[in-house]
Amino acid sequence: MTVAVVFDSAGTLMRTYRVARNVIHHDLLLDIETTILTFDSPDRVLIVLHVHSRDIMAADPDNILSDYLVTYDIGFGIACSRRIITAEEIGDILYSDRTTRVRDLQVCIRSVWDKCKKEAIVVMDSGAILNIGLRNIEYVVTSGGRPFHGARQTITQLHKHGIATFIASGDRSAKLEKIADHLGIQRDHVYGVATPAVKAQIVEDLKHEYDTVIMVGDGINDLAAFSKADVSILSEQQKADRPSELYKRVDYVIKNVHQVVDIAADILAQK
């Protein structure tokens, strides 16, 4: 009998603090759920920028963000979207936007760093929410956080039971690899910049290798993966508003990531 557990990262393995800035009205949304913000409109697409926060902070704040991205050949990944859209279409919008300046993203990074800088291990990501209908950047976003207390012990105990562990998340791969190294998850079990559809496909593919695949997530962007998993677990360890649909579609609701060990061990024993 073989069992695999697939974890989302932010809000599931990590306590994450997120900030979004509306580039038109300059409103700063603190501790916002960026996936819910994205899902509020079918025209919104959340992307992750393949750039380190310190490089953004070192840039000229008055520069147009798209000019900076083009100059330094900074790529992106699609993290979350309600619609099927090509990378080419997103690139056309991202790299031609003339409204957003580097300072907009710097404000987000500074806010997240001020909140997280005292943590022993901190990982950060920056990106944007594009509006396909408006054909521009609507928000810039930054997230940062640290593993939940007990997350490392959870992975260790799962491995002791012979249970394989994976991470599938919309976050940047370099960030996830740093988390995986800390938790003890091998890097080739890490899938970064995974949209909801990609997460679901990862779960589906793993079902060909393992007898039982468990998906652990915390938000609406995990719904498709929940539907493909043999067992679905919704984590409430990070407080957030969640749609009622999530609770109808999962097998377990947990308050602490360590509860995954008992659930997985019970499944292993039953089989």
Looking at the predicted structure, is the pLDDT value of residue 120 above 80? no
- The secondary structure of residue 242, as a DSSP letter, is -
Looking at the predicted structure, is the pLDDT value of residue 229 above 80? yes
- Confidence (pLDDT) at 104: 98
Whether this model's pTM surpasses 0.85: yes
pLDDT range class, residue 253, cuts 50, 70, 90: very high
pLDDT range class, residue 241, cuts 50, 70, 90: confident
CA distance 124 to 213: 29
Query: Three-state DSSP class for 70?
Result: helix
Query: pLDDT per residue over 151-189, tens digit each?
Result: 999 999 999 999 999 999 988 888 899 999 999 999 999
Residue 231's CB is within 10 A of a number of other CB atoms, namely 18
Which of 184, 190, 200 is closest to 166 using CA atoms?
190
| Mean pLDDT of the region 193-212 | 94
Looking at the predicted structure, is the pLDDT value of residue 146 above 70? yes
Looking at the predicted structure, is the pLDDT value of residue 119 above 80? no
Which of 228, 217, 221 is closest to 254 using CA atoms?
217
- Confidence (pLDDT) at 232: 98
- Confidence (pLDDT) at 271: 62
